[in-house]
């Protein structure tokens, strides 16, 4: 009889553990942030509980159906990738874009409007020797002509602006100018 007593005790322990586990799981789901599960578990009326479970199951089924359909649609298309690197010998203009805040060439501007220009300051030339060396003449526009609201027409900007050969003198022969 000692074996049946130990079997009864083991069975009783399992029931207690199951009850404790059930209480723990119930408590976790009641406090869950998943509102559907917590509302199902906190409902006392059996009919409401069954109705809410059916609604939850239908929603999960619809969600899974949509996921499967989306994945079927997404996997229909191949995901192969071919990379082709071309190095053309010549490029059509405007294949490159140069951004320059000062679209006017200083030497061209001072050649056309010498009364708007003045001699470069020696301090500027000492501090920025490249700035003065690039300018064939020592002239530079006066401060009042640096303003963006000066009256220059589009034709003058085109005439006084930078050319492609100014940026790429050695490579300009390789460009098609169609």
**126 or 34: whose pLDDT is higher?**
126
Tens digits of per-residue pLDDT, 6-26?
666 666 666 666 677 777 877
173 vs 21, residue with greater confidence: 21
User: How many structural domains are present in the chain?
Assistant: 2
Is residue 90 in some structural domain? no
pLDDT digits (tens, 9 = 90+) for 117-135: 877 777 777 777 776 665 5
Evaluate whether residue 99 is within a structural domain. Answer: no
Q: Are residues 20 and 72 in the same domain?
A: yes
Show the tokens assigned to 68: 């499967």
Q: Is 72 in the same domain as 112? A: no
- Does some domain include residue 177? no
Q: pTM surpassing 0.85?
A: no
Per-residue DSSP letters for 83-142? ------S--BSSSS----S--B-HHHHHHH-GGGEEEPPHHHHHH-HHHHHS-SSSEEE-
* Residue (of 103, 97, 117) closest to 152 by Cα position: 103
Last residue of a domain, one of 76, 95, 120: 76
> What is the rounded average pLDDT for all residues in the chain?
74
Residue 5, domain member (yes or no): no
Range of the domain at 152: 106-164
Classify residue 82: in a domain, yes or no. no
How far is 83 from 106, CA to CA, in rounded Å? Answer: 44
């Amino acid at each position: 009889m000692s074996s049946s007593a130990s079997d009864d005790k083991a069975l009783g322990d399992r029931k207690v553990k199951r009850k404790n586990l059930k209480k723990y799981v119930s408590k976790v789901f009641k406090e869950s942030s998943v509102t559907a599960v917590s509302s199902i578990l906190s409902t006392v009326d059996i009919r409401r509980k069954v109705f809410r479970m059916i609604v939850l199951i239908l929603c999960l089924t619809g969600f899974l159906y949509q996921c499967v359909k989306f994945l079927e649609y997404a996997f229909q298309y191949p995901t192969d990738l071919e990379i082709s690197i071309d190095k053309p010998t010549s490029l059509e203009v405007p294949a490159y874009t140069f951004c320059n805040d000062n679209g006017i060439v200083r030497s061209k501007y001072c050649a056309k409007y010498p009364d708007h220009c003045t001699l470069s300051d020696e301090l500027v030339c000492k501090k920025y020797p490249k700035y003065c060396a690039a300018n064939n003449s020592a002239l530079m526009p006066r401060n009042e002509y640096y303003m963006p609201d000066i009256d220059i027409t589009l034709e003058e900007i085109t005439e006084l602006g930078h050319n492609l050969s100014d940026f790429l003198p050695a490579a300009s022969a390789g460009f098609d100018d169609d």
